[in-house]
Structure 1
Amino acid sequence: MKQFLIYISKIIVVVILIAIALDGLFTASFFRAKNRGKVEAVFNSTAQKYDVVILGSSRANNHFVAQMFEDKGIKAFNYGMSGGHLFEASLMLKLMIERKYEMKNVILEADLNLASEEPSDGIASDFLPFIHNSTIIKEHFKTRKNFDDIYYIPFYRYVKYENVIGFREAFLSAINKRTNALDNLGYYPLQKHKNGNMKNNIVNLNPIPRNKYYEEIKSICKANNINFIAVMTPMCENVVGMNYFEKVKKAYPEIHNYENVVVEDKYFASCGHMTDAGSKLFTAKILNVFFRK
């Protein structure tokens, strides 16, 4: 029995050592990535200067044409993340501040994402390779119920979120293989598609009063003398429950409602996402209202 226990103990030790080694190798690979995703680009960057930084979900990523800002002499980048929630937008802004970014304005897409304080697992996991190397990331995740497993068990986070930060992504990061995430100054244009979903029902969606991560973003901007611009962006004509935007305006009077700036379905790739043509109309309105010289 004693020999058996010794044998099992050795196996456990070997497994732990392998997990620690793999954890170190995978993490090191993400430190090489500067051209893959927006999280890696910010984490592995040095201080940047922007007139405008855009944050939010896909409704930011697909709706704000950063080049149109640049064409007017306004240095901008779209850091919207498709699938992301305010949890990730707040953490992204915190990382930028940690990296000594200088930003004059932050535009936050704040509408549908106000209904949740939960992270988006697919996007939040992009930050996890760096959790042992950033107090900001560690503290941001600390309230999550699986924090101890992610933080203290070596290699666990890479196994749990293998589809996002597993072997394939670690390998491609190690060779710094480029993606299109940073093309077009972070803006991702969409085209009209015959199979686009042009119906949506948001009747049961309600904004959370004083959403924790919205309030964090607002407070960070105030503390760093950054002009904070929160906006609601357009949806197609066939949405059921459009009074959601009225609920947002009631709960957050400072958020500018531009939901109806673009209304025709021909300008939408899907009900919640405009085509490139629609996004240009929308961005032109934002520029005219907030950045007219």
Structure 2
Amino acid sequence: MKQFLIYTAKVLLITVLIAVLMDGLYTYVFLQSKNRGKIETVFNSKSQNYDVVILGSSRANNHFVSKMFEDKGLKTFNYGMSGGHLFEASLLLKLMIERKYSIKNVILEADLNLSNDHQAEGIAALFLPYIHNSQTIKQHFQSNENFNELYYIPFYRYIKYDGKIGFRETYKIVKREKTNALDNLGYYPLAKHKNGNMKNNIVNLNPLKHNKYYEEIKNICKEKKINFIAVMTPMCENVAGMNYFEKVKKAYPEIHNYENAVVENKYFSSCGHMTDTGARLFTATILKDFFNK
């Protein structure tokens, strides 16, 4: 029995040591990553100066044409993340502040995601390689139910989110494989598709009366004297429950409602995402309304 316990203890010790070693190795690799995605690019960057930073979900990523801002002399990057929620947008802005970015204007796409304050696991996981290297990230995740496992168990986060930050991603970083996430100054243009979903139902969607992460973004901008521009972006003609945007305006009167700025289906790739043509029409409207000098 004694020998069995000694053997078990040795196995456990070796397992823990291997987990610690692998955790350190993976983390080291992620700390070198600068060309695969928006999160690691910000984390591994030094101070930047921007006239305009764009935050939000795919409805930011696909709707704000960064080059059109640049053509107006405004240094701009679109940090919208497809699948992201306000949880991730808030944390990304916090990281920019931690990296001492100088930002004059933040444009936040704030509409559908105001209905929840959850994290988008697939996007939130991309912050986890750095959880031991940033108090900002640690504090942002501390309210999560599984925070202790993510923070204290070595290599656990890499196993749990293997599809996002596991071996394959680590290998691609080592191979210096690029993605298109940073192309077009962060803007991702969409084309018109025959089979695009041109119907949407948001009848049961309601904005939270107090969205924690929206308020965080607004308060950071106020504290850092950043001009905060929150907008609702367009949806196609065939949407049931468009009074959702009226509910948002009632709960958050400072948010500018542009859900009708572009409406014709020909300008949409799917009901919630405009084509490049539609995005350019929308961006021109935003530039005229907020940056017309």
Q: 1:188-212 CA deviation, whole Å, 9 max, x = no partner?
A: 0000011111111101100001200
Hey, what's the Cα distance between the residues in 2 that align with 1:47 and 1:72? 23
| Residue matched to 1:125 | 125
Hey, what's the Cα distance between the residues in 2 that align with 1:191 and 1:33? 30
Amino acid of the structure 1 residue aligned with 2:201: N
Hey, what's the Cα distance between the residues in 2 that align with 1:199 and 1:164? 30
Hey, what's the Cα distance between the residues in 1 that align with 2:140 and 2:187? 26
Contact in 2 for aligned 1:234/1:260 (Cα 8 Å): yes
Contact in 2 for aligned 1:83/1:120 (Cα 8 Å): yes
Trace 1:71-90 onto structure 2 (pairs within 5 A): 71-90=71-90
| Residue matched to 2:157 | 157
The alignment partner of 2:149 has SS state of helix
Q: TM-score, normalised by structure 2?
A: 0.99
| Residue matched to 1:248 | 248
Hey, what's the Cα distance between the residues in 2 that align with 1:61 and 1:97? 21
Contact in 2 for aligned 1:197/1:271 (Cα 8 Å): yes
| Residue matched to 1:179 | 179
The alignment partner of 1:262 has SS state of coil
Q: Point out the more displaced range, 134-143 or 23-32.
A: 23-32
| Residue matched to 2:280 | 280
Hey, what's the Cα distance between the residues in 1 that align with 2:224 and 2:170? 34
Identity within the alignment, %:
72
Trace 1:232-243 onto structure 2 (pairs within 5 A): 232-243=232-243
| Residue matched to 1:60 | 60
Hey, what's the Cα distance between the residues in 2 that align with 1:51 and 1:12? 53
Trace 1:1-293 onto structure 2 (pairs within 5 A): 1-293=1-293
Amino acid of the structure 1 residue aligned with 2:153: I
Amino acid of the structure 1 residue aligned with 2:209: P
Hey, what's the Cα distance between the residues in 1 that align with 2:60 and 2:263? 17
Q: For structure 2, list consecutive stretches of 5 or more residues without a partner in the other structure.
A: none
Amino acid of the structure 1 residue aligned with 2:11: I
Deviating above 6 A after TM superposition, structure 1's stretches of 4 or more consecutive aligned residues are: none
Hey, what's the Cα distance between the residues in 2 that align with 1:177 and 1:100? 28
Contact in 2 for aligned 1:230/1:256 (Cα 8 Å): yes
The alignment partner of 1:3 has SS state of helix
Q: How many residues align?
A: 293
Q: For structure 1, list consecutive stretches of 5 or more residues without a partner in the other structure.
A: none
Amino acid of the structure 2 residue aligned with 1:198: M
The alignment partner of 2:188 has SS state of coil
The alignment partner of 2:214 has SS state of helix
Q: 1:176, CA displacement in angstroms?
A: 2.5
The alignment partner of 1:154 has SS state of coil
Q: 1:80-135 CA deviation, whole Å, 9 max, x = no partner?
A: 00000000000000000000000000000000010010000000000000000000
Q: 1:174, CA displacement in angstroms?
A: 2.3
Pairwise CA RMSD = 0.5
Hey, what's the Cα distance between the residues in 2 that align with 1:210 and 1:150? 27
Hey, what's the Cα distance between the residues in 2 that align with 1:140 and 1:176? 29
The alignment partner of 1:105 has SS state of strand
Q: 1:129-150 CA deviation, whole Å, 9 max, x = no partner?
A: 0000000000000000000000
The alignment partner of 1:283 has SS state of helix
Q: 1:177, CA displacement in angstroms?
A: 1.6
Amino acid of the structure 1 residue aligned with 2:191: Q
Q: 1:178, CA displacement in angstroms?
A: 1.0
Hey, what's the Cα distance between the residues in 1 that align with 2:120 and 2:176? 25
Q: 1:172, CA displacement in angstroms?
A: 1.0
Contact in 2 for aligned 1:112/1:207 (Cα 8 Å): yes
Q: 1:126-185 CA deviation, whole Å, 9 max, x = no partner?
A: 000000000000000000000000000000000000110010001111233211000000
Hey, what's the Cα distance between the residues in 1 that align with 2:21 and 2:195? 46
The alignment partner of 2:105 has SS state of strand
